Amino acid sequence: MSAVRFVFPKPRLAKLLKMPGGLPVAEALERAQANLDTIRPTCMAELQALLELTEARLEAMGESFDDEGMADLYAIAVRGIGGGEVCHVPAVDLALTSLCDLLDHLRTGQRYDRAAIVVHVRAWRMLLGMGDQPGTAAVVDGLRQVSSRYAA
């Protein structure tokens, strides 16, 4: 009878974390924030460009169900998620998530509600300019209510 031997490798990261040295947490966070600050303008420009692509694609769509068009809108919007947090407009991420949820629900049910999509796109534009001001939570809550109407 042969014996089975189990070998549990020791993760290198655990060893590295226990070693003295490195940056203090506060300094590491400051550096990370400084790095984010350097990419913020580029990120904001990207969010703006994605918004303009979304508006153009929506304008090109007809008034009836267009699976390909909604798939395109979804692909554009999902690329922007995460950028809002970097640009200090976290409500934009929530609005984009709600838009993606709406498009997913509509496509699943093969339905089309242009007004619901337009509301999300206009809110995206508005939230992009608002920053992190009071009132953004109410806008996002309203968008979630719109998208949840189509949830299965």
Q: Please list the pLDDT of the chain residue by residue as tens digits (152 residues).
A: 677 887 777 788 777 777 787 788 888 889 888 888 898 999 999 999 999 999 999 999 999 999 999 999 999 999 999 999 999 999 999 999 999 999 999 999 999 999 999 999 999 999 999 877 888 999 999 999 999 999 86
What gap in Å lies between CA 67 and CA 11, rounded to an integer? 46
Structure tokens at 29: 């966070």
Q: Are 47 and 80 in contact (CB under 8 A)?
A: yes
| Closest-CA residue to 119 (of 143, 92, 102, 101) | 143
Length of the chain: 152
Give this prediction's pTM: 0.80
CATH number corresponding to 25-148: 1.20.120.160
What gap in Å lies between CA 10 and CA 148, rounded to an integer? 46
- Non-local CB neighbours of 12 within 8 Å, separated by 6+ positions: none
